[in-house]
Every structure is written in structure tokens, then in C-alpha cells.
Amino acid sequence: MANQDKEHDQREIAGSKYSDALNHINVLIHSKLDFDSIMKKVVVEVARAIGAESAVIYLPEGDGWTAKYIYGFPGELQDRQIRAEEISFSIEAASQGQAVVINDVRHDSRANNRFIERYGINALLDVALTIGEKVVGNFSIHYHHPERKFSHREVDFANKAASTITLALKNALLLQERINAEEAARANEQKVLQTLDRLMILVGVSSAVLSETTIQGTLNRAVEGAIAVTDAQVATSGHGYKEGSITIGALAYDAPLSPCPTDITFTVNRGGVYMELLQKSSTIRFTQKELENHPEWWGLPEGHAPLKGLLGARLEGTGGEACGMILVSHKRHGEFTEEDEVMLTQLCQLTSLAIRHIEARNVVEKHAAELESLSKRLRESEEMFREFFANAPIGLAILGLDGRFQEVNQAYCRIIGYDREEIFQPDFTFMKVTHPDDVEENLAEMNRVLKGETGSFFIEKRNIRKDGSIIWVRVSATQCRDPEGKSARLIAIVEDIHDRKQAEEALRVSEANYRTIFDSANDGFFIQCAESGAILDVNQRVLEMYKYRYDEIMRLDIGELSACSAGYTQERAMEVGRRAASGEPQLVEWLALAKDGTQFWVEVSLKKVILGGKDRLLAVVRDISERKRVLDALRQNEERLRVSEDRLVLAQSAAGIGMWNVNLQTRESTFSNQYLSLLGIDSPPGSYEEFLALLHPDDRYQVMEETDQALAQCRQFQAMFRVNWNNGSLRWIMGRGGVFCDSRQQPLRMTGVIFDVTDRKKAEEDLKAAMDELERSNRELEQFAYIASHDLQEPLRMVAGYVKLLERRYKESLDEKAQTYINFAVDGTNRMQKLIEGLLTYSRISRGIRLMPVDTNKSFAAALANLDTAISESGARITGAPLPVVEGDETQLMQLFQNLLANSLKYRKKDVPPQIHVSAGREGNEWLFSVQDNGIGIESGYFDEIFQIFRRLHAQDEYQGTGIGLASCKKIVERHGGKIWVESEPGEGSTFFFTIPTARNG
């Protein structure tokens, strides 16, 4: 019997120990420590509570696991990467989602003997850490002593501890995901903006490159563009690479390099970095250090300054062969990036296309002349013509009047992808390779030639290659006549222009994007000829302002859009335009005239720009009619204001307010007598510096800074400062004023008032001191309650344990009176323990709150689960409407629901099953929750008293309790920024209401 009692006592003491450990873990998780520190302490707490010699939390990483938080293991295991087979017992717990207990690891196949023997483990307990269906970790606890085994109570405690750890992991994962998402969004937004800026530069460069008609001009524009799109200071180009040799030269802009020979060239004719670009890689990119350490870097011409990094891309011919290069160096900020490389590559591809176009055009022009000469000497040089025809670098074809091919060269075969034998088949005509959408135009042009309407035609069309791909070609066709003068055949020159068409399409898309931005602007845009002032283009906003159609406004002179009043003539408009064209930006206010005769005021900003390589005028027009109306009204009010100033002075004097005014144009200032009195002086200060000298030294900088900012921003301002009167007293003065500016935001005058706030300042300081003292007192009181309730639990638990032990062992030998005394002692210790636990819980509410999105449906469900036994015993029927997601502390909100439900279950009517309903509804920026029951009700005089700590309305023999539950509810709600109250009538039940601010996304 004694052994049984002893075992029972041990179980009770162990249960209390585990309960304390769980409480301590909860305190750790809600503390302000960083996450890793919390988890390390939690592992130690759990291991010591069970009495385990070692413990570890594994976190999944890649294909294996990491020993993240350890206890009782050597340091070598910390952060060690572990294969799954080494900890197969932990993998089993993770896969099953439940605890795995192996009390004899040396004879159990689930354990890895090598790992067990290495660390001397005898028994193990593994619990999976899961969030939903996802395994986020594993908690492994070990006994090393041969006689130690894990009990059901220890497994249950480990499961509960794992649930708490999982909650902490979930919170940490959610926080990290949110931080990562915000950082990624910011980085992506910045990168998109930078790329868009560079693309706009590339569009401008593309236009300049494609507009050139010579190869050298194209290279010059490309080099200038390379500097612009890569932010480099030095660029060079070379073209005409053949037989392992190329000549290149340098071009520098704003580069403080000395020497930098921009007027000489040098030849590259041996291996190295340059030849790597031409013969192997389409691009190269090196830092300065990488260049210096490159095994094949042979440097620069003698006397050339060292390069600061190198980025290059090659130019390619029609067949993709290298024909040149563009190199840049000396990036203004940092090293060349991958985006710089992409931009330079795109520029080189565009440049290559432009050069091929020029070369092809030169070839076509050259051979067209040759063909004209050869046609005159055809009978004498037939063999020479055939040789030229066969070896021409562009496609040539001779077609009969039936559309069949009579002769083609190899270049044409390459363009359409067919062999000569296939082309000469009887059913093969030009229509077989012509895109269906282009056949009609092609036939029409041929018929015009055959009818004699024209001798030749020129079209751009799509051909269908043998492999089904589409290729754009330019066809120049001329008819040949027989000796009788009749049409006999057509000779066609076919040029591959597919790359050019793609570039044109890219340019068209870019121009469409520019037009969208141009027409979406809030201000009106005019683009005018810099010489004549003629309107070349306008955006949609101009059409809306002036009420014209686009075709109408393009036929007008700029003077026709101006009101014909004095000062707003066409002559003045032309003069403003001439000044802007000379390089002097103009900003004028103008009286504009709409199509319907309406006159309105606009502000015109006019400056010279270069568009498409030509001088243009860009006029930005903003409607300021409303601003002008306001200014006119302001000028009218100023006169009324001057009439009222005398009355204002009298009113300010009576109110103890001093007034001042400073004309910033003339530097004239006026001060009221009350102003001088408040500053303790007899005569006005002679300057701003004399005024500052009156102020307390610690306040002068603040007043100066506030005044300077108001002048810069044309806004109101205020400042509080101290002045010492001649009688030795210190006075606090509040000054408020404003800066008034013209339409160009130039300050005109400052005016303001001052008044004495010494008494108010003293009252504020006294109140702050009282509030600081109250806050300190509250903190000390909360700390005392927490420490006292925590430290009292252990001796109280011991008293309760021994009183119960006394009752069990000597129950038969004690008389009825002694039994009654023992019952009193047990009941008193139980009630005292509940009071201390309640006080501890109450104090924890103030020790920290972690706000995050909480689904209150889950909090409500958790509270129901915790009260399952009480609900079943009372026969209660509890219903709930859908509840919202709020910003709150998940644990405290669950405790709030649990306390309110428990209160309704406790104070129920006799022999009447409790009926409780929970609901919520949105009211403005708050969620209003209600918990309604059919209990005994509350008299209105106690509505506030029941939320005070330790206040109870009933004796213990009627309803047991501590008087802390509703006080805890009040504190939780207030910690969440809400309020709580009750509405009730005795015998009619009660409804508890509380509010929680809405979540940020709700």
C-alpha cells in the first residue's frame, strides 16, 4: 500500500513538473529573445523536464537534415549535415506524423547502430514537427543510461512540447516569407525601372544607327550608343575583320584619362582577348583585375592609359561570321554587369544589321549598274553574264511569262532553301514559294510589267522556304524583251531582308510604346520645327485642351492658338520660340484660345531638344486657369485683409497674441505692441539676427531650421522657444506663421503670431512626470505579481501534496473533526493554487504580445476543444457564426474565447442546459464580437465590477472561481486595442461584447 501511495505521489509531482515546463516553454516562445535563442532554451527545458541526457531538433535541408538545436551532444553535431539513413528513426517519425519510441535501440531494426553507438544512446523518443501536412522538423530525445525507458506520460509531454515548438516554427517561417517577398518585390521594381530607362536609351540609339547611310557613320553612332547604354567613358570599334587581322580605334567622352589616344588606330593580328571575341565567344566581359590576370592579355598600344574593365560584343555578317567588334571600358559606377552585356549585344546586332543593309544596298546598286551595262553587250558577253549570275552574293532568278523559273543562282537557292533541280520541276512556279497573302500583289505587279505599263517593279514580300519557315525578301524585277520587242522573261533580284524586317518590327513596337506614353501625359506636348515654329506633332492632352482634331491642329500656326489680346500676339510667340531655339529655355504664362472661342490660361515651358538627329522645340503646356482664378481672388481678398488688420490688432491685443509681418521684397517689417511685450523688449529687433539673440541658445537652431524650410517650401510653420525677460523670468513662447509666394513659388512675405504658453508648458511637464511615475509603478507591480505568483507555486504545491498524503494515510485513524480540517486545508490550497495560476496568467498578458493575422474561427474551435469535458458534463449547446481574421496574438485570443465560454458554462441556470452563441460583425474599423448565453444574468450595478481582478459576485460554495477570468479578458482585449462590456438582466442571460481592430488586409 505504501509503495502504491509513493508511486501515486511521484506521478502527481511529475505531472506538475511537466505542467511547469510547458508553462515555461510558452513564456520563452512569447519572450523578446531572438528565434535561435528561444529554440536552444526550449530544447534544454524539454530535455531537463524529462530527465533526458541529450536532445536535438533536426530541420530538413535539401535531401538531408541539419542538427540545428542540440543538448547533451558534442559540438561536432551542431549544424552538421546528416543523411536520412543515419537517423532513420527520426525519418520514420516524420513520415508517420506521430511519436516514435524505441526503448531498446540496440535490438531494434529501426535504429541506425552506427549513429547510436557513436553517441551512446540507449533509448529514444522522436516527435515530428508538422505544419498542416508539411513536415518542418523533428524533435529527438534520448536516454543514455541502460535502465531508463520512456513512459506514456513522457511521450504525452513531448507531443505537447512539440506542438508549442511547431507554433514557434510556423511564426518564424511566416515572418521570413513575408520579409523575403517584400525584399524581392522592391528589388524587382528597381530593376524593371532601370531596365526601362536603358531600353529608352537603346531605342534612341537604334534610330540614330539605322538612319546612317555609310558604314563609318553607322560605327560612329554605334560607339556613341555603346557609351550611353553601358554608362562607359571609353569606347572603340573595328570593322572589316579578315584573315586574322582587324584595325580598331578609340573614342572617349568626359573621361579623365591621360593619355587616351582617340585620334590613332592600332591593328589586332594575334591571339588574346580581342581574338577570343572574334573567333570564339560572341561577347567578353572582364573586370580590371581579371584583365591583368588573364593569361592571354597582351595589353594596349604603347602610351595608352590602363583599362578599367572591358566589355565587348562582336559584329556579324550575313552568315553569322565575325566582321568586327565594339568595346567599352571605364564604367562610371562599379563594374560592367550582365545587363550591360545584353544591352551591348543588342546594339551590336542592330549595328550588324544596319551594316549588312548598307553593304547589300551597295552591292545591289553596284550590280544593277553592271546589269545595265551587260544588257547592252549581252550577245558579246553571254559567258561573262552567266558567271556573274551564278556567283552573285544576292539572289538572282530568270522567270518565264508562265511564272516558271528558267535560271536561278545559288544565292537564291539558299534564300528559299530549295535545290536547283527542285526549282526546275515543271510544276514549280514563283507562286509555290510566295506567301498566300502576298500572291495578289505579286501578280498585279507582274501584269503591269507584261502590259507595258512599267518596265520593272519593286516589292517586299514573304517567301515560304522548303522547311516551312517564313523569310522576308526584297524583289526588284525587270522585263527582258525578244528581238521583236515583245516581253520574253523577267529578271529578278532577290535580297534577304528578314533581319531588317525584324528590326523594323521591334522599332515599330518601341515607337508605339513611346506614343502611348506621349499621349498619356497629363500635360500637353507640342513638338515644333526649331526654325519655322511649325507644329510637327501634339499629344492627346493638347487636343482635349484646345478642342481640335489632330488633322485640324496640324494645319494651324502656333499663333492661331493664342488669344489676340495685348501681349499675346503671334509676334511675341515667335520671339519666345526664337529664344528657345537659341538654347535659352523659356517659361511663360500665356492666354490660349480653344477652337470654340474659349480663352484659358496656360503655363508654357519651351526648350530646344534633338529628335531624330534634328533640332526641335518641345513645348510642355499646363492649364493654369484655376490657379489664375485663385490668384485673382487672392488679390481681391488682400484689400479686404488690409481693412481688417486694425480690427485684428485690437482682437489680438485683447487675447494676448502678438502679430508680426515681414515684406521679403523690401525687407520692411511690422510688429504689434503685444509682440514686443511677449518678448520682453521695448523696441522692435533691428534684424533677424537680433531676434535670434533674444531666444534661449538651445532653441535658436530649431527656429532657424523651421523658418528656412518654410521659405524653401512656401508653407506654414510653427516653433516653440524660450526667452529670458529682463526681470530674470523664463517664458515659453509659441510662434506660428506662414510664407506667401507668387505663381513661381518665389517668397513674397512672411506673417505670423506669437503667444505665451508658459503656464501650459508647466502643466504638461507636471503631467508627464506624473505619467512616468505611474508607468514605473505599474511595471514594478506587474513584475512583482509575476515573480510572486511563479515563486509561490512550488511551496504551495508541496503543502497540497503533503496534506493529500496525510489524508490518504491517516484517514481511518482521524475523527470527523480532523477530516473536516483536512478538507478545509485541501480546499484552501486548491483555491490558492488556482488563484496563483490565474494571477500568473494575468501577469503574462502584459509581458508581451505578438500581432499577426489570426483566424478567430480556429481560436474559437481551440477553446471548444479545451472545454470539451465541461461542455459534455453540462449538456451545453454552443453555436457560432463565421468569424473574421484579425491582427492579434493567437494564444491570447484563444484564451479570451475560452474564458468567456467557461464563464457562460459556470453561471448557468439549474436544470437548464446552457445555450451559447458566438458571432461577429464589422462596424467601421472594428470587428464587434458577441458571446450570448441563457444563464443566470447579472444586475446592472455590477457590469463594471465583474471585470476587476479578484472581484466575485458569488460565494465559493455557490460558484467556484478565482475572480481573474473576466479581468484577463478585459486585459487581453485592451492589449489588442479594443474594449469589452456586458449587457444582461437577472434571469434572462448575458451577452458579452468586445471589439478588435480590423486586420490591415481586412
Residue 212 has pLDDT above 70, yes or no: yes
- Do residues 736 and 757 make contact, with C-beta atoms less than 8 angstroms apart? no
Which residue carries 490660361 as its cell?
601
What is the pLDDT at residue 281? 82
Residue 276 has pLDDT above 70, yes or no: yes
Other CB atoms within 10 Å distance of the CB of residue 493: 23
- Do residues 566 and 582 make contact, with C-beta atoms less than 8 angstroms apart? no
Which one is predicted more confidently, 387 or 328? 328
* pLDDT average, residue stretch 614-641: 82
Three cell numbers, residue 902: 467557461
Distance of CA 186 to the CA centre of its chain: 3
**What's the mean pLDDT when you consider all of the chain?**
80
Residue 332 has pLDDT above 90, yes or no: no
What is the pLDDT at residue 848? 58
Give the whole-angstrom CA distance, residue 1001 versus residue 282.
50
- DSSP assignment of 741-797 equals E-TT--EEEEEEEEEE-HHHHHHHHHHHHHHHHHHHHHHHHHHHHHHHHHHHHHHHH
Three cell numbers, residue 414: 539558299
Residue 949 has pLDDT above 60, yes or no: yes
536-586: pLDDT as tens digits: 899 888 898 899 999 998 888 887 888 776 566 767 778 888 888 888 888
Of 964, 794, 856, 779, give the one whose Cα is nearest residue 24: 794
What is the pLDDT at residue 303? 56
Q: What are phi and psi of 448, to 5 degrees?
A: -60, -40
Q: What percent of the chain has pLDDT over 90?
A: 6
Q: What are phi and psi of 575, to 5 degrees?
A: -65, -45
What is the pLDDT at residue 1002? 45
What is the pLDDT at residue 916? 93
Residue 237 region, left (φ>0) first, then alpha (ψ -120 to 50), else beta?
beta
Give the whole-angstrom CA distance, residue 493 versus residue 370.
13
673-686: pLDDT as tens digits: 888 888 888 888 87
Residue 259 has pLDDT above 50, yes or no: no
Which one is predicted more confidently, 647 or 730? 730
Alpha-helical regions (H) of 51-151: 88-96, 113-119
* pLDDT average, residue stretch 635-662: 68
The arrangement of strands across the sheet holding 586-593 comes to 535-538, 524-529, 614-623, 599-611, 586-593
- Do residues 521 and 544 make contact, with C-beta atoms less than 8 angstroms apart? no
Residue 241 has pLDDT above 60, yes or no: yes
163-207: pLDDT as tens digits: 877 777 777 667 667 777 777 767 666 666 666 666 677 777 777
476-527: pLDDT as tens digits: 888 888 777 777 788 888 888 888 888 777 777 777 777 777 777 788 889 8
690-721: pLDDT as tens digits: 888 888 888 888 888 888 888 888 889 888 88
Of 52, 46, 50, 39, give the one whose Cα is nearest residue 136: 39
Residue 592 has pLDDT above 70, yes or no: yes
Which one is predicted more confidently, 397 or 93? 397
Which one is predicted more confidently, 168 or 931? 931
What is the pLDDT at residue 994? 94
What is the pLDDT at residue 819? 72
Question: Considering Cα of 953, then 956, then 957, then 958, what sign does the dihedral take?
Answer: positive
Give the whole-angstrom CA distance, residue 44 versus residue 53.
10
What is the pLDDT at residue 523? 86
Window from 348-357, 407-416, 655-664, 990-999 with minimum mean pLDDT: 655-664
- Do residues 127 and 139 make contact, with C-beta atoms less than 8 angstroms apart? yes
CA dist 480 → 44, 225, 392 (Å) = 100, 46, 19
Three cell numbers, residue 225: 550608343
Of 399, 404, 400, give the one whose Cα is nearest residue 428: 404
The β-bridge partners of 312 are 284, 327
Of 312, 158, 299, give the one whose Cα is nearest residue 232: 312
Give the whole-angstrom CA distance, residue 844 versus residue 823.
31
Q: What percent of the chain has pLDDT over 70?
A: 81
Residue 155 has pLDDT above 80, yes or no: yes
341-358: pLDDT as tens digits: 888 888 888 888 888 888
Other CB atoms within 10 Å distance of the CB of residue 760: 12
What is the pLDDT at residue 995? 94
| Parallel/antiparallel/unpaired status of strands 915-923 and 877-880 | parallel
857-872: pLDDT as tens digits: 999 998 888 888 888 8
Give the angle 865-869-875 at the CA atoms, nearest 5°. Answer: 105
Which residue carries 518585390 as its cell?
185
Residue 731 has pLDDT above 80, yes or no: yes
